[in-house]
Every structure is written in structure tokens, then in C-alpha cells.
């Protein structure tokens, strides 16, 4: 999407929508690039300010799903030197061998 249509799309979005990432299935193999996920890069202050707005995702660390996270200093691809910037990646993954809980009916 080009910039102008993107800005219009973004402006029209309803604020504070529920975050509902689709978990990467437990048996998934290979790249997760096309799966739901978040990448945040920049100064530690910027990354933390964005994370502070994503606290709803903490609920995804539970019996059925887990958070796959990376939060580290960035490195230059060519020299391998550590940079002053940070990168953070977040994805929700399904837990293996865990059956979804079903609601039990109460006897009256």
C-alpha cells in the first residue's frame, strides 16, 4: 500500500481494538515471517514506549499459548558490531501437547 492510502486507512481505524494475534501452531516448521507478529526497532526509550501500549499481549502467556520474544541490542550486519539501537520481536505460539480447556456444565 502506498503512503497516502496507508495514512487514510490508519486514520480510519477504530482506536484501541482488541489485540487478537493468531498463534503460530506448535507443529509449525520453518520461517514465521508470514505469521502474526510485531517488530519494534529503535532506541530503548522508543521500544519501551511502544511495549507499554501492548500490555494486552501479556495475557497470551498462559496454559494454551506462550510469547516468543526477543529484546536485544541491534548489531551491524556487515561488521557484527553492537549498535546503540534495540530490536524487539514478539509472536504468540501455541503450546505443544496442551488440549484446549472446555467449559464444564454445572449440575444443578
Instruction: Supply the pLDDT for residue 67.
Output: 97
Do residues 38 and 68 lie in contact, with contact meaning Cβ atoms separated by under 8 Å? no
**Would you place residue 77 in the very low, low, confident or very high pLDDT band (cuts 50, 70, 90)?**
very high
Sign of CA dihedral 39, 41, 45, 46: negative
Q: Supply 39's cell numbers.
A: 517488530
46-69 tens-digit pLDDT: 999 999 999 999 999 999 999 999
Per-residue burial over 62-81, b = 16 or more CB atoms within 10 Å of its CB, e = otherwise: eeebbebeeeeeeeeeeeee
25-42 tens-digit pLDDT: 999 999 999 999 999 999
Measured distance CA(108)–CA(95) in Å, rounded: 34
Amino acid at each position: 500500500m502506498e503512503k497516502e492510502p496507508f495514512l487514510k486507512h490508519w486514520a480510519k481505524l477504530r482506536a484501541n481494538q482488541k489485540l487478537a494475534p493468531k498463534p503460530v501452531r506448535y507443529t509449525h516448521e520453518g520461517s514465521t515471517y508470514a505469521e502474526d507478529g510485531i517488530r519494534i526497532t529503535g532506541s530503548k526509550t522508543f521500544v519501551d514506549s511502544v511495549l507499554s501500549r501492548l500490555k494486552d499481549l501479556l495475557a497470551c502467556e498462559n496454559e494454551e499459548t506462550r510469547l516468543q520474544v526477543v529484546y536485544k541490542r541491534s548489531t551491524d550486519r556487515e561488521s557484527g558490531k553492537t549498535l546503540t539501537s534495540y530490536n524487539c520481536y514478539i509472536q504468540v505460539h501455541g503450546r505443544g501437547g496442551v488440549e484446549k480447556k472446555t467449559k464444564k456444565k454445572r449440575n444443578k
